[in-house]
Structure 1
Amino acid sequence: MSKVIINSFEELEKLVGHDLGISEYHEFTQEQINLFADATLDHQWIHTDKERAVKESPFGDTIAHGYLTLSMLPHLWNQIVEVRNLKLQVNYGIEKFKFNQPVLVNSKVRLAAKVISAINLRGVTKANIGVKLEIEGNKKPAYEGEIVFLYHFNS
């Protein structure tokens, strides 16, 4: 799988409306879910107590935190796109975002990305990227929405 290479605002602007690609699959293990719970102090049993989740959860097993799945965006995004010639990149926002489906432990997910818009704001590029986290074997994605980056390209 080859990455899309972007070197300038003009190159990004030409990609508006186009799919950029799909990342490799990532598997959410119970260890990763537990580490995220420790890092965020979110130890809700649906994430960390397998025995209870199997018995009591409507999902039948533990699930990844929604924000854990969201936090994987940079890793998965970097498998799809390489933005070069940058002074700085800033995560600017998340828009029209919805968690649609829980991600069960040991599920594999991948990111699909599409350029929604690219605007030049006095030398700073504002890029809205449509993202969808697909769950292997599931028609409904884990989430869909737009992430917004600010790219400060070198002149």
Structure 2
Amino acid sequence: MSQLTINSLEELESYQGKELGVSDYHTITQEQIKKFADATLDHQWIHLDENRATIETPFRSTIAHGYLTVSLLPYLWGQIVKIGNVKMQVNYEIESLRFNQAVTVNSRVRLRAKMLSVKNLRGIAKTQIEVTLEIENSRKPAYTGVVTFLYHFND
């Protein structure tokens, strides 16, 4: 994986309509699922009870929380693009997020990103990025959506 480095609004604008790249794969472990359940107070058995999930679900294993996979966005995004020369980045919006496929424990996922648009809001860059969380060896992605980040560049 080759990380892009972008240091200005003008550089961001040059990537409109282009695929930015893909992150490395990240393995979703049962320990990560358990920690997420504890952090969010979401202890539904389908995420935590390995024996029951093997017997009672069509997945034949526990699955990651959908929001756990979404929470990986900043980490995986940071592997694709390094935005430099910024005072602040703000996670602004998620549009049209659709969960397409459950992520079973020990699956490997990676993020694919495409820059849809960049708007200059009085010196603040508003970027809309199409994101797809791919599951290794699966035709269907875990999710697709459009995320919006605001970048406050240094003068």
**TM-score of the alignment, normalized to the shorter chain, above 0.5:** yes
1:33 corresponds in structure 2 to 33
Q: Does 1:17 align with 2:14?
A: no
Q: Separation in 1 of the partners of 2:124 and 2:27?
A: 35
Q: Separation in 1 of the partners of 2:88 and 2:21?
A: 23
Q: Separation in 2 of the partners of 1:15 and 1:96?
A: 22
Q: Separation in 2 of the partners of 1:2 and 1:103?
A: 25
Q: Separation in 2 of the partners of 1:35 and 1:85?
A: 33
Q: Which ranges in structure 2 are unaligned for 5 or more consecutive residues? A: none
Q: Displacement, 1:31?
A: 0.6
Q: Separation in 1 of the partners of 2:79 and 2:90?
A: 18
Query: Can you list the C-alpha shifts for 1:6-47, whole angstroms capped at 9, x where unaligned?
Result: 111110011001001000000001011001001101000000
SS in 2 for 1:75: helix
Query: Can you list the C-alpha shifts for 1:100-152, whole angstroms capped at 9, x where unaligned?
Result: 00000000000000001000011111000110000000000000001100000
Q: TM-score if structure 1 supplies the norm length? A: 0.98
2:77 corresponds in structure 1 to 77
**Identical-pair percentage:** 63
Q: Which ranges in structure 1 are unaligned for 5 or more consecutive residues? A: none
Q: Tell me the amino acid that sits aligned with residue 120 of structure 1.
A: N
Q: Separation in 1 of the partners of 2:130 and 2:121?
A: 20
Aligned residues: 155
Q: Separation in 1 of the partners of 2:3 and 2:135?
A: 21
Structure 1 residues 1-155: aligned runs within 5 Å: 1-155=1-155
Q: Tell me the amino acid that sits aligned with residue 76 of structure 1.
A: L
Q: TM-score if structure 2 supplies the norm length? A: 0.98
Following TM superposition, the consecutive aligned residue runs of length 4 or more in structure 1 with deviations greater than 6 angstroms are none
Query: Can you list the C-alpha shifts for 1:60-84, whole angstroms capped at 9, x where unaligned?
Result: 1100000000000111000000000
